[in-house]
Amino acid sequence: MNQITNFWNYFKQNNFVFLLLNEIPNDELKIHFDKLIALLHKYNKDLDLIIKNKSNGAELIITASGNPYLFKEVELILHYAPVVERWKIIPFLQPETNLSKYQQGIDKPIENYGISLKISEMYFEPIKIKNKPLEIGIRVYIKNHIVYKENPRLRETVYIHLEHLLGEKCFANDISLIDITQIPSNYKELRFIELYKLGAYIEKIIN
């Protein structure tokens, strides 16, 4: 309990530093970030945090990085979260609500260890899981799979995209199998579904 209290006390006392990211010298900012993450890791070394600055405030997201075994740890620390002016404190990555950027193809790629992928350029199709007819499996089609397939971070990178698109809980709880492969040249004829529509597809299946 002391570890949770220490984390939130430090955040409350220094929240203005994280709120004014662009106005704080990088060296000072790094000191505060490192301290905040160190305090979080004293509570649980596998949790992580994300700070998003908005025009009228900021968000602090505590994430389990998609590990369902850590969900209770996230929920516990958020139970003791303080109310801090101009801050929204959120458990877990939430589903993406602005899908228009993917429809228009203007989304920015997520880059990870030399791998660069855009959700607007990715597709999926449902696949059946042997002996598990009620569980959801998908095959994700990406560009440059031939280039990236030997990179041990490829699966991790695709998972990061899916977490940001679907939200952490949906990604962890609702998809049982993910296969990753190259988009074929005739993909437009094969009725693949744009990846940004995956959330709506899952919602339709489970409801």
> Position 48: which residue type?
D
Cut 0.75: pTM above it: yes
Question: Could you report the per-residue pLDDT of 36-87, keeping only the tens digit for each?
Answer: 999 999 999 999 999 998 878 999 999 998 899 999 999 999 999 999 999 9
pLDDT higher than 80, residue 176: yes
- The pairing of strands 177-182 and 137-142 is parallel
pLDDT higher than 90, residue 20: no
Query: To the nearest whole number, what is the mean pLDDT of the chain?
Result: 93
Predicted local distance difference test score (pLDDT) of residue 125? 95
Predicted local distance difference test score (pLDDT) of residue 1? 75
User: Which helix H or strand E contains 102, and what residues bound it?
Assistant: helix 100-103
d(CA 159, CA 144): 16
Question: Could you report the per-residue pLDDT of 139-152, keeping only the tens digit for each?
Answer: 999 999 999 999 99
Residue 126's SS3 state is strand
